[in-house]
Structure formats: C-alpha cells, structure tokens
Structure 1
Amino acid sequence: MEQHIQNLLDSKYAFFNHPRFIEHDPIQIPHAFSHQPDIEIMGFWVAMLAWGQRKTIISNANELIQLFDGAPHAFIMGHQAHDLKRFETFKHRTFNYTDTLYFIRFFNRHFSKHASLETAFSAQYNPAEITIEASINRFFHTFFDDEFAPKRTQKHISAPFKKSACKRICMYLRWMVRKDEFGVDFGLWNNIKPSQLVCPLDVHAQRTAESLHLVSPGPANWNKALELTESLRQLDPHDPVKYDFALYGMGIEEKTIWQ
C-alpha cells in the first residue's frame, strides 16, 4: 500500500479517535453509564438503531433510557408485565413496540444466566479464526432461539450468512472489544481479539475506501466488508478496525463539504 495513504489514514485515525468524538456520536449513549451490563445493553441497542440522522438516533436512545428509569439492566431484570406498556409509543424508523419487547425479553433471558453479553458472541468461539464471522452468525441464532421470537425483528439483527455488511453489529463489536488509551471504545471484552474484528461498512466509509483503492467498486455486503478489513490489516494486523475512525471521519468531512 502506498505510504501516503497509510500516512493519511494514520493522521485521520489520530484526529477522530479522541474523547471529543463521543459527544457527537451515538457512542455517547453507553458512555453515560458505568455499570457494565448497562453499557452492553444500551451500546447494543443504540448500535442496532444506528441508521438515519445521528441527532434522531441519540434522541430516541435517550428516550429509551428514560423509559428504563435510567437503569436499563435493573429494569430489564426486575420489571413486571404491566411496566412494559410504557414502551408502546417508542419507535425508531421501523423499530417498534414488538421489537422493543423482544429485545427486553432477550436481555432478560441472557442476563439471567450470564454476567456479560460477551458470552452471546463468544460461545464456541475459535481464537484461530481470522475474523469474527462465525461468532456473529452464531449470535444471530442465539438471539432468536426463542419460540416467541417475532419474525419481523430479524430485520434489525444482521448476520454474514444473510450477505449483509453487518455495519451495526461490527460497530458494536468494535466498541466492546477494541482497547486503547483514548477512551472512545470501551474494550470491555477479553475473549475476542481486536485482530478478528471486521470494519463497519456504510456508504460513506465505502466511498472513501474506494477513493483510496482500499476496496474495489461493488455492493456493500459482507464480502466487501472483509475486503476492506483485509486491506486495513496490511496497515495494522493487530488492530485493523481502528481505521474505522479515519474512514468514518473522512466520509463525514466529505458529506459536510457537499451539503
């Protein structure tokens, strides 16, 4: 890879991987908590809602926190059936009451047996696997392993076997797994290795990646996300997705220029 491209990505990564990034991004939602289950729950939830305008995503996530009385894990584990009625009016784009109830049901089921959401991703985890692909596929089946799982909710949880780029799942895993001294990503999980993460791929990141010849033109799917990650692995084999900060930031800069 040409040195000037690496220099550019390194400089943009250093600029955007900074605490000032938090206040403008949906990652501010889990950063509002100190209790790990709350961080995991709200991090996952806001990541799954992360499509559309950031302002709306953040506003709706804050509404959800209020509905949880400010304590998502405590509410999910201790609520009564009548407490769920308050969520009837909560929605984000196509995410509605049915989806909300199932998310609460899943978290209740999971945290009744496990201390962390990591185990939902790391069950049967193979540290020798190059990427986290198999673990994301297993998570999808774990999430919906419930006779009451609504079919409609499956559209909100992506998986590589569905050929999706899995941008939101990959973003969430970056938040939970990556570790550095800058404090944007949480680095709470220890089983999955940062080198196995796959770079979140959206239209802005892909446009930037194509302009830098990190990926070939084509649809944004799982294979394209793997292609991008492999290019980034040439720059940093131990932490390739750190360059998500650079691609995201450059994409936002470009979008701002054209608005």
Structure 2
Amino acid sequence: MRIMGNSPYDFIMNYNPGKEYDFVHRTFNSKDLAYFFGALKHCYQNGGLEKQFLSSDKNLKNRIIAFRTIFLSLNSEARTIKHVSNPEAGSAAKRLVMFLRWMVRSNAKGVDFGLWNSVSPSELYIPLDVHTGNIARKLGILQRKQNDWKTNEELRNVFLKLDPLDPARFDFALFGLGAFEKF
C-alpha cells in the first residue's frame, strides 16, 4: 500500500513500466512486482479482473487457466511465471482459489467480499494447502496424499455433497480445526 500511495486502483491505472521498486518478499522481487503492476493494468484496461474470469466454460479450473494465460501474456520473465499457479500442471492454485473465494462468496460473515456475480459460489474450491489437506485426511474425507488439483477436485466433491450451493464454506471448518483446535 505504501508503494501505491494508499490508492491501489489509481496507482495501477497510472502505472508506467520502468520504475524500480525496492521490494522483496520471499521469492517475489521488484521485477515480479513491476510485472504484476503492468499485468493488472492490462486486465483493468480490458474490462477488469472479473471479466478475465468470464467464460462460457463452467469448469472453474479452465477459467483459472485462461486467466493465468491472459495475466502472463505480457512477455513475463520466466522467474515471474512461478508466482501464478497453474492447475493445468497440477497445482492446487491456493492463492487464486482463495482470491476467487474472497471475491465471490457473500460478505455476510465479514470474511469474504462478495463483489463478483459472474462466478457462482457453487463453482468454488477450498484453498487447499498442506494444513487443510492434512486435516481433511485426519477426518477421513480425503484419500489422495498429494496437495494438487486432483486432490482439490476430490475434496470439492465431498463438500458438494454437503452443500452443493457453497462447497467452499467448509474451508473455515478445516482451517479452524488446524489453527485453533490443533487437530
């Protein structure tokens, strides 16, 4: 927020490539940041982020793959590509799935934003990581050992049986068991 002058949208829309930023977070550096700024500007100039997830394809995995293709279409450096997960290569795409959950699910509980209508909550997945995967395995609702897209599908199918309208709502239960109950 500091880099963006506390006005992220204005900053992105007025972003000019070439400026160097002193930024590092884990493996994400200033070159990655500059690419993301440019890619976000491109997305906003072409209808916004939500539009990038619009498709006649109801398979959310394919929509995530299409978004990734658009986002990385501006001659990204090889090192930057790793920061946008690829479910086509098997990734569980935790960050993109989490982002979609925030943007799609209702904000009635004060956790998610619920700003988008183009994706239905029934299409969402759990943001799968090592912790939620391990909790699901301990509960006996997940058989696969890997934390990949196939495991995401398996877990989603379990939760679709419990709530076909909002299977991602069970993310809170898995997270809570691990974070607060030390399950």
Between the aligned partners of 2:165 and 2:38, the Cα distance in structure 1 is: 36
Query: Structure 2 matches for 1:201-240, cutoff 5 A?
Result: 201-240=128-167
Structure 2 counterpart of 1:101, which letter?
A
What is the DSSP-based 3-state SS (H/G/I as helix, E as strand, rest coil) of the residue aligned with 2:9?
helix
Q: Which residue in the other structure is 1:55 paired with?
A: none
Partner of 1:49: none
Secondary structure class of the residue paired with 1:186:
coil
The one of 93, 118, 121 equivalent to 1:194 is 121
- Alignment check: 8 A CA contact 2:15 2:41 kept: no
- Match of 1:214, SS state, is coil
Query: CA 1:69–1:121 in structure 2 vs 1: closer, same or farther (change >3 Å)?
Result: same
**Structure 1 residue 81: deviation in Å?**
5.0
Q: Is the 8 A contact 1:214 1:228 kept in 2?
A: yes
CA RMSD of the aligned region, Å? 1.6
Q: Secondary structure at the match of 1:164?
A: coil
**Unpaired runs of at least 5, structure 2:** none
* 8 Å CA contact retained: 2:102, 2:113: yes
Residues 69-116 of structure 1, C-alpha deviations (whole Å, 9 max, x = no match):
00011112124457x32x1x21110000110010011111121232x3
Q: Per the alignment, in what secondary structure is the counterpart of residue 234 of structure 1?
A: helix
Higher helix share: 1
> For 1:168 and 1:240, how far apart are their aligned partners in 2?
17
Equivalents in 1 of 2:90, 2:167: separation in Å?
Answer: 21
Distance 1:217 1:80, change over 3 A: closer
Where in structure 2 are the equivalents of 1:32-181 lying within 5 Å?
65-80=1-16, 84-85=19-20, 87=21, 89-114=22-47, 116-122=48-54, 124-126=55-57, 129=58, 131-146=59-74, 148-181=75-108
- 5+ residue gaps in structure 1? 1-64
Alignment length (residue pairs) = 183
Shift in Å, 1:180: 4.7
1:197-247 CA deviation, whole Å, 9 max, x = no partner? 111111110111011111104111000011001101111000000010111
Q: Is the 8 A contact 2:135 2:177 kept in 1?
A: yes
Runs of 4+ residues over 2 Å off in structure 1 = 79-82
Secondary structure of 2:155's counterpart equals helix
- TM (norm. structure 1) is 0.67
SS of equivalent to 2:53 = helix
